[in-house]
Amino acid sequence: MIDIKTEHYEDTIIYSIDKIIKSLKSRLKQKIESLDLGITAEQFVVLDTICAHDSIYQQQLSDIIMKDKSNTNRIIKILEQKGLISRQYGNVNNRLVYFLEVTSEGKNIIEDNITTIKQFITDIFVNIDDSEIEMLHKLSDKFETDLFKE
């Protein structure tokens, strides 16, 4: 085991990761808002996540976007009011759930803007090569595994 030798929080890997995540989210938010889509960056992420998953329901969505159920429900209601998603009743393990689907209008927003968003993300990582990205994914998996083992 490695001796981390940190004296203060800002010397930890937790601080470094948190700083990177906050910066990335802030830049992505600015980019999405600059596209003037009529939805927030948070709503775009939810819309894109629903679009990427067939037959997703609220709890699964909450887990993927890492938001609590009430926050996820608030975003879902807004997107539904805007006509970008719809909810259909369904059953999972004998429990009534709403399955979420993106409407054609919602799909148009994603399709019209996803290339721009992907290019923006690519540009952010222009100085990081494929092997470093691969290593980052491996490290992320290790962190997740270590954090959730009992």
Tell me the per-residue pLDDT of 99-129, one tens digit each, with 9 for 90 and over. 999 999 999 999 999 999 999 988 988 899 9
Q: How far is CA 6 from the centre of its chain?
A: 30
d(CA 79, CA 96): 21
* Residue closest to 143 by CA, chosen among 11, 9, 18, 41: 18
Q: Domain limits of the chain?
A: 21-148
Report the 10 Å Cβ neighbour count for 71.
13
**Which letter, b or e, does each residue of 8-32 get, where b requires 16 or more Cβ atoms within 10 Å of its Cβ?**
eeeeeeeeeeeeeeeeeeeebeebb
Give the model's pLDDT for residue 5: 66
Edge-to-edge strand order for the sheet containing 95-102? 56-57, 95-102, 85-92
pLDDT class of 13 with cuts at 50, 70, 90: confident
d(CA 104, CA 84): 7
pLDDT class of 76 with cuts at 50, 70, 90: very high
d(CA 132, CA 128): 6
Give the model's pLDDT for residue 4: 63
Give the model's pLDDT for residue 30: 94
Give the model's pLDDT for residue 144: 84
Fold of 21-148: Arc Repressor Mutant, subunit A (1.10.10)
SS3 2: coil
| Mean per-residue pLDDT of the chain | 90
Give the model's pLDDT for residue 81: 97
Sign of the C-alpha dihedral, residues 68, 69, 72, 77?
A: negative
Mean pLDDT confidence for 28-49? 94
pLDDT class of 42 with cuts at 50, 70, 90: very high
Give the model's pLDDT for residue 3: 59
Say yes or no to pLDDT of 1 above 70: no
Give the model's pLDDT for residue 146: 83
Give the model's pLDDT for residue 9: 86
Q: Rounded to 5 degrees, what angle do the CA atoms 110, 39, 29 make?
A: 85
Q: Extract the tokens encoding 121.
A: 């993300």
